[in-house]
Homo-oligomer: A and B are copies of this chain.
Amino acid sequence: MDFRHLKSFITVAEELNIGRAAKRLCISQPPLTRQIQQLEEDVGASLLIRTARGVELTEAGRVFLGEARNILSLARLAVERSHKAALGKLGRIDVGIFGSGIFGTIPKMLLAYRQACPEVNVVLHSMNKGEQVEALRQRRINVGFNRLLAYEPDIVSEVITMEGLYLALYESHPLVATGDIHWRELAGQPLVMFPSSTRPNFIDRAIELCKLEGFEPVIAQEVGDAVYAIALVASGFGLCIVPESATNLRLPGVRYRRLVRDPLPMVDLSCIYRRDDDSAILQSFLDVGRTFRAE
């Protein structure tokens, strides 16, 4: 049994006449007759009733006709789906994402990817930078999002976007009255810092900038996640330096002001993946990510 047999049988069943079916299939009648005979022998049942004016379907033939159509459409689907998989438009991608990554650019990018490749199942895994690198190596994720990654030989890091830094203040704080806030004004202010993940991290970067301005920051509290940090700001614990994307988290009693100095302090949002990963799905994902970088 063969796809050719199925196609032939379907055509014969549609024409109810072997000669006409042969014409439609662009072969002559005898080979078509033989194909049907072979098929019947293979199936082990008579599929056609030969009459003087053509053929009729037996019950087995009617059943087989339906099945044959199913099989052929499934075959077409198989080719189509393989094609899509080869283009990275079908399958599954596991994405590592840090706690506060769900604000700002990343969800927009995921949404754009979903529209570009609706048949790819995107699975998000919450993990910090170190866990992402480990998970990439163990192939538990295909791609990760983080900031300030130290160089790793087997990992590629692509900057998706650079973000300015903002200060989160409780609304009764005197600095709220000003517009942009210069970094030096952080001197002496109690700061809530995050995250305490693999170095170099966001805290190191903030401390470094304070030193450049000539003061040691006052660290009121260290927490693991931006949401916790901003919640503490809301209850008056102190101020908090956050990347621009975190300002999308609106909590009552919290205001955000841009932090400035020369040069303007910024932090990257990057996409990381295995250097040896040439899978189409990763490529299609990165392609969407790169359109964001271009903006």
Contact = CB atoms under 8 A, between A and B. Distances in A.
Interface of A: 1-4, 42-47, 58-64, 67-68, 70-71, 74-75, 77-79, 81-86, 88, 90-91, 279-281
A108 to B, nearest CB: 26
How many protomers of this protein does the assembly include? 2
Given A1-B3, A42-B79, A79-B43, A85 B67 contact: no
A117 B3 CA distance: 30
A8 to B, nearest CB: 12
A279 B58 CA distance: 8
B63 A1 contact: no
| Interface of A: prevailing SS | helix
14 contacts: A1-B3, A1-B75, A2-B2, A43-B79, A45-B83, A59-B91, A59-B280, A60-B85, A62-B85, A63-B78, A63-B84, A63-B90, A64-B85, A71-B71
Contacts of A84: 63
A86 B61 CA distance: 8
Contacts of A279: 59
Contacts of A90: 63
A281 B59 contact: yes
A88 B58 CA distance: 11
B59 A81 contact: no
A67 B59 contact: no
